[in-house]
Structure 1
Amino acid sequence: MNHKQLKYFLALADTLHFGRASNLCFISAPTLSRQIKQLEEEVGVPLFIRDNRSVSLTSQGKAFVAYANATLNQWRLFKGQCQTEQQVLSGEADLYCSVTASYSYIYELFAAFRKQYPDVELNLNTGDPALSISHVQAEKVDLAVAVKPKELPTGLAYTKLGEAKLQMVAPIMECPLSDQINQMNKETLSWSDLAYIVPEQGVLKERLDEFCTLKKFKPRVYAHVSGHEAIVALVSLGFGIALVPDVVLSQSPFKQQVRVLPIDNDKTGIEIGLIAKSSRLKDPVNLAIWQTAQKIFNKSIENN
């Protein structure tokens, strides 16, 4: 087996879909299928159960995930350690963040990093920010942009990228929800009477729970949503109000279709940073990304 086959295997194990996995690997679905079949022949057991409708891991396949991750991580660490200070830094790194973070934080980070280390391959995956820490812990990625939790899990390192303010947004369009809000006292809104769009998990959900506890009510949830960007869209359509970071709102194509409601709560800020396993920072490539992020943040502090 080779390292490419291990990467193909992990992509399919993560997506459980040949089409999506082949797109992530930049190969055709038939090529991916052949590579997986060759890998299974070499291992000697089926790693996936396939039928016309679904793909799932066998028990041996689930065990092979840990082996594949460990093998690739050790290989990349070894390659990094073999590089001398005189050599041009090369290798690759996988990062995960939300779509908004790719505009707000990762763009500047990648621009600065690519300028200094043009031979490093950077792979970016986007998705629900609530999954950032779990992806790092599961070693699906090397680094991720995440909202800083109250307690950082053991074995993880964190460096600050910036801050965001949480804002309660409501629709502007004419709808029953807008009428309901307009009839309320603007300074003492009846929060318990309103419908809410709520994140499925993560720090943002925790902050909304804290807000509701402070106001002594249980929210009437219209929908649970994965991903902050989709929350603003549902609010703009009048389905409910929601608590979102201002950085998400500023990047949203629906920002002109929502309004910000006043919140008399001083705990409305969140801190956003880069997360990585401490052990993965032994890799020179990951460490270089980490140090670049720190330089950018320190420079922003000096300029302010």
Structure 2
Amino acid sequence: MDTRALSVFLSVAETLNFSRSGQALHMSVSAVSRTVARLEQEVGQPLFERDRRRVTLTRAGNEFREYARRSLADWQQLQRKLGSGGELAGEVSLYCSVTATYTLLAPILAALRGTHPSLEIMMHTGDQADGIGRVLEGQDDLAVTICPLNVPPRLEYLPLVESPLQFCMPASNCQVRERVLASQDDGRIDWEALPLIVPERGTTKELLDDWLRERDVRPQIYAQVAGHEAIVAMVSLGLGIGIAPQLVIESSGLGSGVDTISLEQGLPSLSIGLAALRQRLASPLVRALWEVAGQTYPDPV
């Protein structure tokens, strides 16, 4: 199958717009359409559903997208390997949060440069809660993420570090802090009277929901936000109390703006590590990064 045709298909699968893909690839819209039509003829099924308003991937299109990504990645890897005298070379796509980029990844990438200098990392950043989904959908080879409560069967997970999950309050004097301290003086925190800033999705939210449910607490939700860094920032501004891994609190640059809340029965610790599709670990490039990460953090603590 023509690798150029696979590139065209992947562009349309990303943009869901034949015109935009044509502009990006310097092709006419009709040329893009003909290329996709030839692929659909080879596959024997439509890859896209089209109408006047939108373009969407069919079920076959979603499966073909994974095949196209693997095929192009393998072809690029072979090209680079043949041109580098046998040295492992190529590109690995990695997704992580901003905090993980400069805390967990820095020593991994330093070690990787020493062992595989021709291996390139294509970095994507965002809310760590999206990491598992991006890996399962084939958008990225690997993701630095919190271990899900239920690891999908297709997924491999490599623990790197453990970090306690903490409740935190503003460090500066404000109404929220005064409420927390007054509740602690009474021997019991009135959670339903405190504005709570929580993650909108992910393992942290699931753990918090379980913790509140076990205590029959109906919280006063002030905000649901994407990313632990945003939670710490909002708490530091005195907007409410929140939850975040200790690792994020200490590394976000806003740790001095919050204080952790001591509890006899707090939230559990989190395992933070690498996630990858089992089939992608067959790639020498992905496996190389996976192994270097495991050697860099041999004993999660």
TM-score for the superposition, normalised by structure 2: 0.82
Please give the root-mean-square deviation of Cα atoms over the aligned residues, in Å: 3.2
Is the Cα–Cα contact under 8 Å of residues 171 and 258 in structure 1 kept in the other structure?
yes
Gaps of 5+ in 2: 38-45
> Residue in 1 aligned with 2:216?
216
Gaps of 5+ in 1: 23-28
How far is 1:182 from its partner?
3.1
Match runs of 1:1-304 below 5 Å: 1-2=4-5, 4-13=7-16, 31-32=23-24, 34-35=26-27, 37=29, 38-44=31-37, 57-59=54-56, 64-77=61-74, 87-186=86-185, 187-265=187-265, 267-298=267-298
Tell me, what secondary structure is at the counterpart of 2:108? helix
How far is 1:68 from its partner?
3.3
Q: Distance in 2 between matches of 1:57 and 1:64?
A: 15
Amino acid aligned to 1:40: S
Q: Distance in 1 between matches of 2:232 and 2:226?
A: 12
Tell me, what secondary structure is at the counterpart of 1:184? helix
Q: Distance in 1 between matches of 2:28 and 2:265?
A: 53
Q: 1:90-116 deviations in whole A, cap 9, x for unaligned?
A: 121101111111112122211211221
Q: Distance in 2 between matches of 1:280 and 1:46?
A: 23
Q: Which stretch shifts more, 264-273 or 182-191? A: 182-191
- Work out the percentage of aligned pairs sharing the same amino acid: 28
- How many aligned residue pairs are there? 285
Q: 1:150-190 deviations in whole A, cap 9, x for unaligned?
A: 22111111111111111111113343222322322344222
CA 1:46–1:135: 2 relative to 1, 3 Å: closer
Q: Distance in 1 between matches of 2:178 and 2:227?
A: 27
Is the Cα–Cα contact under 8 Å of residues 91 and 119 in structure 2 kept in the other structure?
yes
Tell me, what secondary structure is at the counterpart of 2:160? strand
CA 1:50–1:30: 2 relative to 1, 3 Å: farther
Tell me, what secondary structure is at the counterpart of 1:94? strand
Tell me, what secondary structure is at the counterpart of 2:140? coil
Q: Distance in 1 between matches of 2:125 and 2:27?
A: 26
How far is 1:134 from its partner?
0.9
